[in-house]
Structure 1
Amino acid sequence: MSATVSFPVPTPRGPEDVTVSYARVGRGEPLVLLHGIGHHRQAWDPVVDILATEREVIAVDLPGFGASPALPDGLAYDLSTTNTVLAALFEALELDRPHVAGNSLGGLLALELGRGRLVRSVTALSPAGFWTQAERRYAFATLLAMRGIAQRLPLPLVTRLSRSAAGRTALTSTIYARPARRRPEAVVAETRALVEATGFEATLRAGAAVRFTDDIPGLPVTVAWGTRDRILIRRQGIRAKQTIPHARLIRLPGCGHCPMNDDPALVARVLLDGSRD
């Protein structure tokens, strides 16, 4: 069920309320899902029903993305601030060290939460932060190009394109290896989410100097990478394994940057296995 929650977060001027939109479904140990930049919580829809048979699933729209408003003035879109916001969100939702899984930016945030011992386990799908500078520049240029194209496309044209497999491929093949599988209404919604993401540019600016370089000892960590990821190429998974030696590194055959759509059954199994105590 979709809902919103507001909670105080410290700013240089004193506490200010942050509002986050989320959906909560299922029973079992809590598993929080974090999407990538320019996306929204519905990116997880292909796997939510499977996960909800064994987990209480909380899919979050990050601040400035999806249905969540932008952060208040004075709060940056950097890792430290986002960690603080997510920790406050967990408290507001009465989640005591939940399991967390994230994709792309969400994967990096999940790893940061793990580094801060705020979660019970981490599963990161193609997480950001294990790039070289050249790879980061390529990824950011690709993301900016995607947003620029989406901003120039009239909504009626997006709707028409989404009705055919070829159109869905044209709109989403950068992030999906099997874009024809995406539902037309989902393609329209995520194109609008990319256009309307108020936190997009600030998040990119904050990410320019980010590299994840710390181990996360004593916490179950799974890193999974699609073999057809066109944004964060899969050799970055090797760097993730070198940085977090005890992490499970899993190959997702035939999957792109957002693998939840490409192989829901495989991704759901990776998330369930990764969130076992």
Structure 2
Amino acid sequence: MTATVSFTIDSPLGPRTATVAYERKGAGEPLLLLHGIGHHLQAWHPVTDVLAGQYDVIAVDLPGFGASAPLPEGVPYDLATVAPALGALCAALGVDRPHVAGNSLGGLLALEMGRTGLARSVTALSPAGFWTQGERRYAFAALRAMRAGARALPRPALERLSRSAAGRAALTSSIYAAPGRRAPEAVVAETVALRDATGFEQTLAAGGSVRFTEDVPGLPVTIAWGVHDRLLLRRQGVRAKRTVPGARLVRLPGCGHVPMHDDPALVSRVVLDTARSATPAVI
């Protein structure tokens, strides 16, 4: 069941209230799951049950995505605002320094939470922020094309396309290695989430100058990259390893940009291995 929580965030405009949708299941140490731009918390559904067998799993819709409200008017969608906001979200849920796993934008946020002491371990799946300017422009152009396509398709046409493997490939091949295996209803839901994402443009605008250039010392970090990632090319993983030299760099065979759907078992193992290697929290 999806619930919502409201909490106070610091912003350049002063304290503001944010409201975020989330799903929570399992027990144990907390594990926060963060999706990518234009996606929603359902991106994690293929792995949630496995992770919840050992952890208190909290999957969130980032502000301005999925069922979460946009950030208050004038509040920027940048790292300096959103990462601390996720820390405030955790505090509102009674959680201190969760393990954090994120994909794409979520991976960048996970690394920033680790860097600023808000996470006890980090698993970053194809994280943003390790691109050249040319690679960033390519990725942003692809994202804008996906968004334009989602907004141009009437719901009946989208549902018709999703019924065939070829149609699902046309809709989602940029982010999955095997889009034809996706369930039609899931493809419809994530395309609608992309179409309706109120934070999409502001997030892209904030990401135009983003480069992750600092180490994340003192905690386990895994950076994992899909071998068939067509959005953020896998060579960016080498740059990420140079930036965070203590990180474990893992290749994900058979996986695209959103690997949780291409190989749930492999992604679950990577996240669990990272979290288990952290020093247990002192209660």
Normalised by the length of structure 1, the TM-score is: 0.98
| 1:116 counterpart letter in structure 2 | T
Whole-Å Cα distance in 1 between the matches of residues 245 and 75 of structure 2?
A: 33
How far is 1:86 from its partner? 0.6
Corresponding position of 1:222: 222
| 2:248 counterpart letter in structure 1 | R
Instruction: Structure 2 unaligned segments of length 5 or more: list them.
Output: 279-283
Whole-Å Cα distance in 2 between the matches of residues 127 and 275 of structure 1?
A: 18
| 2:271 counterpart letter in structure 1 | L
Instruction: Structure 1 unaligned segments of length 5 or more: list them.
Output: none
2:13/2:75 contact within 8 Å kept: no
Whole-Å Cα distance in 1 between the matches of residues 260 and 156 of structure 2?
A: 27
Q: Does 1:150 align with 2:129?
A: no
2:41/2:66 contact within 8 Å kept: yes
Q: Does 1:197 align with 2:192?
A: no
Whole-Å Cα distance in 2 between the matches of residues 265 and 233 of structure 1?
A: 22
Per-residue CA distance 1:19-78 (angstroms, 9 max, x = gap): 000000111211100000000000111111111111111000000000001000131000
- The alignment partner of 1:84 has SS state of helix
1:100/1:122 contact within 8 Å kept: yes
RMSD: 0.9
Corresponding position of 1:134: 134
Runs of 4+ in 1 over 3 A off after TM superposition: 11-14
Whole-Å Cα distance in 2 between the matches of residues 12 and 196 of structure 1?
A: 26
Whole-Å Cα distance in 1 between the matches of residues 243 and 84 of structure 2?
A: 24
Tell me: CA distance 1:11–1:172, structure 2 relative to 1, closer, same or farther (3 Å): same
Corresponding position of 1:34: 34
Whole-Å Cα distance in 2 between the matches of residues 87 and 57 of structure 1?
A: 15
| 2:91 counterpart letter in structure 1 | E
- The alignment partner of 1:233 has SS state of coil
Tell me: CA distance 1:76–1:13, structure 2 relative to 1, closer, same or farther (3 Å): closer
2:10/2:85 contact within 8 Å kept: no
- The alignment partner of 1:7 has SS state of strand
Normalised by the length of structure 2, the TM-score is: 0.96
How far is 1:13 from its partner? 4.6
Corresponding position of 1:184: 184
Per-residue CA distance 1:59-104 (angstroms, 9 max, x = gap): 0000000000100013100000001211110110111100000000
Alignment of 1:82-121 (within 5 A): 82-121=82-121
Whole-Å Cα distance in 2 between the matches of residues 30 and 164 of structure 1?
A: 38
Corresponding position of 1:271: 271
Whole-Å Cα distance in 1 between the matches of residues 86 and 62 of structure 2?
A: 9
Q: How many residues align?
A: 277
Per-residue CA distance 1:84-143 (angstroms, 9 max, x = gap): 211110110111100000000000000000000111000000000000000000000000
Identity %: 70
Corresponding position of 1:10: 10
Whole-Å Cα distance in 1 between the matches of residues 52 and 88 of structure 2?
A: 24
Corresponding position of 1:49: 49
How far is 1:15 from its partner? 2.3
Whole-Å Cα distance in 2 between the matches of residues 241 and 248 of structure 1?
A: 8
Whole-Å Cα distance in 2 between the matches of residues 221 and 37 of structure 1?
A: 21
1:11/1:74 contact within 8 Å kept: no
| 2:268 counterpart letter in structure 1 | A
Whole-Å Cα distance in 2 between the matches of residues 190 and 68 of structure 1?
A: 14
How far is 1:14 from its partner? 3.7
2:40/2:190 contact within 8 Å kept: yes
1:22/1:60 contact within 8 Å kept: yes
- The alignment partner of 2:77 has SS state of coil
| 1:84 counterpart letter in structure 2 | P
